[in-house]
């Protein structure tokens, strides 16, 4: 399939309202809500991920949850190598508490993506790859231009190699 030709998103649960879950995670967030790694970034990662889902066989529900949890446990803006694993642990805690439903296989995708998102190479799993790319496509907010060689999906590599980040500005919020 042509990576620039949208495909229907798999599944239907990706449209569920996550506002209550967002509020709970925001309450636990240790940095300013205006931080570079805070809710505005999470929302952009969600938009980026859902955009990429149109072109790749990735799980939009996992991607929406990744966007919320991946940077949710940062202790500072810059050097915090354990923030991804802490975000994965928070996701597991919230799942155990019944705040969201996810089967074990999909939970493994979510926690793996959270644990490895900071500095890992491109990933062959479509869902994990879209998670990583959705985050990396927002590196411009910290003055970094994403390297196409470090992106997992053909669509993200195309956006980065063409410098076409403006394409992501047209993506609507899911909620």
Query: What DSSP string runs through 87-107?
Result: HHHHHHHHHHTTSS---HHHH
Which phi and psi (to 5°) does residue 20 adopt?
-60, -40
CA distances (Å), 163 to each of 110, 120, 131, 166, in order?
A: 28, 22, 20, 8
Instruction: Identify which of 29, 49, 26 has the alpha carbon closest to the alpha carbon of residue 135.
Output: 49
**DSSP 3-state of 61:** helix
Residue 162 pLDDT: 96
| Total structural domains within the chain | 1
* In-domain check, residue 6: no
Residue range 117-146: mean pLDDT, rounded? 96
CB-count burial class (<10 Å; 0-12, 13-18, 19+) for 8:
exposed
- Which CATH number belongs to the domain containing residue 141 in this structure? 1.10.3210.10
Q: Structural domain of residue 25, as residue ranges?
A: 18-169
Integer Cα distance of 114 and 67 in angstroms: 9
pLDDT (tens digit, 9 = 90+) per residue, 18-70?
999 999 999 999 999 999 899 999 999 999 999 999 999 999 999 999 999 99
* In-domain check, residue 8: no
Residue 171 pLDDT: 79
Give the length of the chain.
175
* In-domain check, residue 40: yes
Higher pLDDT, 111 or 171: 111
pTM of the entire predicted model:
0.90
């Amino acid at each position: 399939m042509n990576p620039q030709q949208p495909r229907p998103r798999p599944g239907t649960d990706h449209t569920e309202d996550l506002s209550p879950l967002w509020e709970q995670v925001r309450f636990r967030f240790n940095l300013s809500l205006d931080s570079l790694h805070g809710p505005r970034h999470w929302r952009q990662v969600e938009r980026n991920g859902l955009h990429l889902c149109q072109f790749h066989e990735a799980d939009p529900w996992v991607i929406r949850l990744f966007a919320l949890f991946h940077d949710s446990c940062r202790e500072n803006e810059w050097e915090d190598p354990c923030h991804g694993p802490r975000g994965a642990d928070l996701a597991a805690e919230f799942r155990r508490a019944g705040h969201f439903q996810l089967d074990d296989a999909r939970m493994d995708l979510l926690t793996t993506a959270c644990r490895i998102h900071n500095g890992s190479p491109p990933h062959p799993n479509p869902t994990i790859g879209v998670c990583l790319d959705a985050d990396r496509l927002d590196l411009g907010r910290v003055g970094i231009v994403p390297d196409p060689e470090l992106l997992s999906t053909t669509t993200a590599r195309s956006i980065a190699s063409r410098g076409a980040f403006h394409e992501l500005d047209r993506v609507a919020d899911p909620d």
